[in-house]
Amino acid sequence: MKVLIAGATGAIGRPLVQHLRANQHEVFALTRSPESASTPNAIGAEVILADVLDGPAVKAALGRIRPDAVINELTSLPRHYTRAEMKAAAARDRRVRLEGNANLLASLRDAGVRRYLLQSAAFWYAPGVGLADETVPFISTGSPAVEASVGTYQELEARASAAAGIELVALRYGFFYGPSTWYTREGDLVIRCGNDRFRLSVRARASTISCISTMRPQRPLPHWRAPPGAYSIVDGNPSPQHVWLTAFARAAGAPPPPRVSEEEALRTLGQDAVYYATKLRGASNDKARREFDFRPRPLEWILVGTDEPTS
């Protein structure tokens, strides 16, 4: 099977290429510059030079390759997780996701592509009791940055769902941890923990979520036989923020984050941080388990040298 990946150099894309190659698929990586082509080449993908923001170039690339499936893992996130860098990257990240998605969708039918896998999010389900399944809508109100992020994912899924003749599989990921993410022993979040820059609201109940992939070389890739639709790719066992962040700080050799009232957190950290700490809802992975035997890998996998991100 021919598979084209947009976003093949990221924390998800690199292990994804390796899994696809291990399953004997022909993998192409859409890359916008020769300078960024070394990673896909090194892991076995054939590099296709085209900027996802250039619609005609994307159309020409897909027309040449005529892949069986296209996987959209496009992001433009900053290297460091700081308030300033996240704010500076927000407009570019939104543009890459939305325009890249639109340009890919506009090229699929002419290239004969039927299956489209789209990166989405499982952490924006509306608040409620218990774990959210895929029928729960995304939140309607939140802090300004939260509403902007939710709007991006809603638009991504809505546009892809409206594309005629396309089998959409929306992969609603959770938060990623492990190599090549912000949450790793050598990562930016460890530095911030060590500098005691995290605080916990006393009502924190945010979720941590699962590994991105259940794919093993000897098995067929589950996404190819999953019915079209949305899937929450999460571990189904979310932890409150005061649990996972304290454990993360301990693993990083940093002191436990101080716990403060929600009112103090609002004053010192702002609405977005408080929303993440107190309002995010965990998600169920029952549908993914049922439809393609999704089995998240436990945290221990990232402690023994694996190079795959988990979430």
Class of domain 2-181+210-235+284-297: alpha beta
What is the model's pLDDT at position 17? 86
**DSSP state letter for 256:** P
Q: Across the chain, how many H-helices and E-strands are there?
A: 11, 9
What is the model's pLDDT at position 205? 29
What is the model's pLDDT at position 262? 87
Q: How confident is the model at residue 93 (pLDDT cuts 50, 70, 90)?
A: very high
What is the model's pLDDT at position 248? 76
What is the model's pLDDT at position 181? 73
The pLDDT of residue 102 is above 80: yes
What is the model's pLDDT at position 81? 73
Residue type at position 282: G
Q: How confident is the model at residue 154 (pLDDT cuts 50, 70, 90)?
A: very high
Mean pLDDT of 276-300: 84
Residue type at position 264: E
Mean pLDDT of 50-77: 94
The pLDDT of residue 221 is above 70: no
Tokens of 7: 């976003």
Q: What long-range pairs does 102-106 form, CB within 8 A, spacing at least 24? A: 102/55, 102/159, 103/52, 103/53, 103/54, 103/55, 103/58, 103/59, 104/6, 104/52, 104/58, 104/62, 104/70, 104/72, 105/159, 105/160, 105/163, 105/166, 106/55, 106/58, 106/59
Residue 275 and residue 92: Cα distance in Å, rounded?
23
Average pLDDT, the chain: 80
Do residues 282 and 207 make contact, with C-beta atoms less than 8 angstroms apart? yes
9-13, 29-33, 97-101, 212-216 — most confident range:
97-101
CA 72 to chain centre: 10
The H-or-E segment that residue 193 falls in is: helix 188-194
Tokens of 41: 């080449």
Mean pLDDT of 149-168: 95
Please report, for residues 32, 125, 128, the alpha-carbon distance to residue 206 in angstroms, rounded to integers and kept in the order given.
35, 12, 13
Cα-trace Rg, the chain: 19
What is the model's pLDDT at position 121? 95
The pLDDT of residue 30 is above 50: yes
Strand partners, 26: 2
- Give which of 194, 189, 193 is closest to 80, Cα–Cα: 189
Residue 279 and residue 259: Cα distance in Å, rounded?
17
What is the model's pLDDT at position 16? 86
Residue 254 and residue 214: Cα distance in Å, rounded?
32
Which residues neighbour 275 within 8 Å (Cβ) at sequence distance 6 or greater? Answer: 142, 143, 146
User: Which of 37-51, 103-117, 232-246 comes out lowest in average pLDDT?
Assistant: 37-51
Q: Which residue has the higher pLDDT, 116 or 272?
A: 116
Q: pLDDT tens for residues 118-132?
A: 999 999 999 888 999
Mean pLDDT of 261-271: 87
What is the model's pLDDT at position 19? 84
Q: How confident is the model at residue 80 (pLDDT cuts 50, 70, 90)?
A: confident
Q: pLDDT tens for residues 168-196?
A: 999 999 887 766 777 666 655 555 555 55
Residue 85, judged by CB atoms within 10 A of its CB (0-12, 13-18, 19+), counts as middle
